[in-house]
Structure 1
Amino acid sequence: MHLAPTFDDLRELLGEPRFLWTDPRPWTELETELGIRFPADYRRFADAYGAILINNQLTIFHPATVWYNLGQEIREEPELWEDIDEDRPPCTFGTGPGEVFPWAHSASSEKAYFKVPRDETDAWAVAVIERDEFVYTEYAMTFNAWMFAYLGDEDEDLAISAREFAPDGPFFSELPQPG
């Protein structure tokens, strides 16, 4: 592995992608609507694999799919937290500086988020909220680094662990889309 994990490192762990999306329009339209630019490493991964289920646990969103649609998930997220006052995670949901928005959810009740950089000197971070207890954990890592730790089940003490869902190693399934 390289100093920082790359897409090729993720592909080596997960296997060859089949989605292979090439039209930038869904990304640029969503970025224009939200006023952000998604992390390039996440975009590359999502374009290669699409909306997938990793290890029968982690569902990844993509902006061009009807189901598991990234834009829809981002727009709906703030509404999911409106009625929760007690034990609310210490974050703001949205796409503004310092806010978080979802890019995946798990079968074990966690949701993965990106934390938008506060300014040009700040880096993207990955955050996970355990929805049953509202525990917020932030990782000062790129998407590639976080995903590599998840897929490789590294000792990163991630809030979402692949160990029990993929004891024989990482795998993915393409998620169905309407015909």
Structure 2
Amino acid sequence: MVVATLSEVKALLGEPRFNWSDSTPWVEMERELGIEFPADFREIVNAYGSIQINGQLYLEHPAGHLLHSLGETIRGNLEMWREEDMAEFLPSPAGANPGELMPVASATTGEWVFLRVPDGPSSPWRVLVQELDSPAWTLHEMTFSEWLLAYLRGEDVTVCSRNFAPDRPFYEPLS
């Protein structure tokens, strides 16, 4: 499977307006969490910043303000997903260790998007989507960029955009 590129995402979503280049917020957040996020995830988030895609999917940047800061959101979500009554909805624990799930995005339609931490350095990152209105979850054997590209194309990757963007994908900065 070929890794999707930022240019493919731009072709569907439109030109990014954020274009962040300072790695300091990522380095600080990754040091605190004990994880290094995959390059494709960082590249997309650095290009677009904290946005809502198709009025449905939320992506946040670590340099965002308190309401839309990836680091703040992840800390709160890790706490929530580690609670006993929430942990049972996931196939493995929320966290930064190999095989664990790092919550990185959510949708207005009740889905949570996780990056599955690889089991080893040569293993790929994968995307897991949990549907909060049911105990169901789906592991997508694709990178974040591949998953996002499929979402933007209107493919059913657990979070489905067809009803939210019938003409073409769009995004709005989170303020």
TM range (shorter): over 0.9
In 1, Cα distance between equivalents of 2:94 and 2:50: 22
Shift in Å, 1:87 = 5.0
What's the CA shift string for 1:86-134, capped at 9, x where partnerless?
9522121011111111111101000111000011131100010111113
User: Is there any run of 5+ residues in structure 1 with no aligned partner, and where?
Assistant: none
Shift in Å, 1:83 = 4.2
Alignment partner, residue 94 of structure 1: 95
**1:25-36 → structure 2 map (5 Å cutoff):** 25-36=24-35
Q: Secondary structure at the match of 1:93?
A: coil
Query: Are 2:77 and 1:77 equivalent residues in the alignment?
Result: yes
Q: Secondary structure at the match of 1:127?
A: strand
Alignment partner, residue 120 of structure 1: 121
Shift in Å, 1:25 = 0.2
Alignment partner, residue 136 of structure 1: 137
Are the equivalent residues in 1 in contact too, given 2:78–2:103 (CA < 8 A)? no
Equivalent AA in structure 1 for residue 112 of structure 2: K
Query: Are 2:161 and 1:162 equivalent residues in the alignment?
Result: yes
**1:17-28 → structure 2 map (5 Å cutoff):** 17-28=16-27
Equivalent AA in structure 1 for residue 50 of structure 2: A
Higher helix fraction: Structure 1 or Structure 2? 2
Equivalent AA in structure 2 for residue 62 of structure 1: H
Are the equivalent residues in 2 in contact too, given 1:74–1:94 (CA < 8 A)? no
What's the CA shift string for 1:132-174, capped at 9, x where partnerless?
11311111101111011000113xx311000000000100001
Equivalent AA in structure 1 for residue 161 of structure 2: A
TM-score normalized by structure 2?
0.93
Structure 1 runs of 4+ with >4 Å offset: none
TM-score normalized by structure 1?
0.91
Rate the CA distance shift 1:86–1:17 in 2: closer, same or farther, 3 A: closer
Superposition CA RMSD, Å = 1.7
Shift in Å, 1:68 = 2.1
In 1, Cα distance between equivalents of 2:94 and 2:126: 14
What's the CA shift string for 1:68-95, capped at 9, x where partnerless?
2111122122321314169522121011
- Pick which of 128-137 and 105-114 moved more: 128-137
Alignment partner, residue 57 of structure 1: 56
